[in-house]
Amino acid sequence: MKLILHHFELPLRHVFTIARGSVTVQTTLIVELRDGEHSGYGEATTDDYYGATLERMSASLESVRSQIESHPLDDPADLWHDVAPSLVNNPFALCALDEAAHDLWGKKRSAPVYRLWGYSLEDIPPSDFTIGIDRVEKMVAKLEEMPGWPIYKIKLGTPNDLEIVRELRQHTDAVFRVDANCGWSSEEAIRNASELKSLGVEFIEQPLPADDWEGIRQVYEKSALPIIADESCVAEGDVDRCHGHFHGVNIKLVKCGGLTPARRMIARARQLGLKVMVGCMTESTVGMSAIAQLLPQLDYVDMDGPVLLERDIATGVELRQGVCHFPQVNGCGVILVAQTAAASE
C-alpha cells in the first residue's frame, strides 16, 4: 500500500463567514492510499481554530508512512488503532487517513462502505444548505440562489440575528436551523430561542463558547428549542460530558479523527438518548462521500461542503437539493478528478 498526499486550494462560491471569521479559499489535504489496483481517498481541511495546518498534518502522516505502507488493511479500524497513538494530537490528519482506508477497503471488497457495515439506505436524513453571515440582503440572495432545499442552516452571532431570521423566513417555508458558533451568551440564547421557534427553527447549534458548561446547562434547561453541541463535542470523551447539557451532538469527522471513532461516538450518543448529527468543515466531495456512509445512523446531517465550492476536485456522493445520491462506485465512492496542486509520495 502506497501513501500519497495531495494539497488543494478550494475556492468558495461566496465569502463564507461565521461568528469567528471568514474564508474565501479553503485549503485541504487529500490522502490517497493506493494498492496497485485501487485508490482510496480521504480528506481533512485546514482550520486555524483547531490548529490544523497543512504542514502539521503532512508532517504527522509522514512520520507514520512506513507503518501505513506496511499495513495489510484487512480492517480500516485496525489501521486506525495502530497509528492513532502517533497521531493522537492531530485528529485531522488521522481522519483523512481513516477515510482513505475505508474507501480503499470498500473498493477492494467490491462494495460500498455503508453496506459492509450492514447499513441500509431506506431511511436517511436530507442535508441542510448553509448560509454564512453577511448583510441581510446578501443572505437572502444566497438562499434564493439555492432554491428548493428542505432545510437551511443559518449562521448567526451578530447584533441582528433575529432580524436576519425574520427576513429569511419571508422567502421560504423550509425548515431552518441556526448555528451561533459560540457567539451568544446564555441570556441571549434563552431569549432568542422562543422567537426562533415561532420562526420555524428546528434547533440551535452551539450557542455558547465551548467551555461554558454552566451557561449551556442553563440554556439546556430553559431553551424553547433543542440545543446541539458542536465545538463542545470534539472527541469521544465529550459525548458523555454533553449529556445533561445538550439535546444532541454534531460529530465532525476531522475533529474526532475519522469514521472509526465517529461510529463509536454515534453508538454512545444513542445509549445516552442524544440526537446525532454529523457536520462538515467545507470539505470537497471526498470528505462528503465519507460522511454519507454514516447517513443511516443519523438524525440530522450537514454535508453541503461541495455545494459551497466554486469548483470541486472529485466525484462521488452527490447532493441535489438536500437529497443524497450515491454513485455506482464502491468504497466511499470517490474518484479524484482534479490535478493536484502538490503531492508527496
216 and 297 housed in the same domain:
yes
Residues 157 and 101 in one domain: no
Specify whether 43 is located in the same domain as 134.
no
- 238 and 292 co-located in one domain: yes
Question: Can you state the angle between helices 259-271 and 91-108, rounded to 10 degrees?
Answer: 100
Domain count, the chain: 2
Strands 2-18 and 21-34: antiparallel
d(CA 108, CA 106): 5
Tell me how far apart the alpha carbons of residues 199 and 48 are, in angstroms, rounded to a whole number.
33
* Shared-domain flag, residues 67 and 200: no
Domain that includes residue 59, residue range: 2-115+336-344
Q: Are residues 73 and 209 in the same domain?
A: no
- Those residues whose C-beta lies under 8 Å from the C-beta of residue 97, and which sit 6 or more positions away, are 31, 33, 42, 61, 68, 79, 80, 83, 87, 258
Looking at the chain, the whole-number percentage of residues with pLDDT higher than 70 is 98
Judge whether 303 and 321 are in contact, CB under 8 Å: no
* Same-domain check for residues 183 and 37: no
Query: Do 278 and 175 sit in the same domain of this protein?
Result: yes
- Kindly report, residue by residue over 77-91, the tens digit of the pLDDT: 999 999 999 999 999
Distance of alpha carbon 226 from alpha carbon 248, whole angstroms: 8
Kindly state whether residues 160 and 273 are assigned to the same domain. Answer: yes
Question: Which CATH number characterizes residue 201's domain?
Answer: 3.20.20.120
Cα dihedral: 199, 200, 205, 208 (round 10):
20
pLDDT tens for each residue of 15-62: 888 867 788 999 999 999 999 899 999 999 999 888 999 999 999 999
For 8, the 3-state DSSP assignment is: strand
95 and 123 both lie in a single domain? no
DSSP 50-93: GTB-HHHHHHHHHHTHHHHHT---S-HHHHHHHHTTTSTT-HHH
- Cβ atoms within 10 Å of 46's Cβ, excluding its own: 21
Mean pLDDT confidence for 270-276: 98
Angstrom distance (rounded) from CA 36 to CA 59: 24
Could you tell me the pTM of the whole model?
Answer: 0.95
Domain co-membership, 188 together with 320 = yes
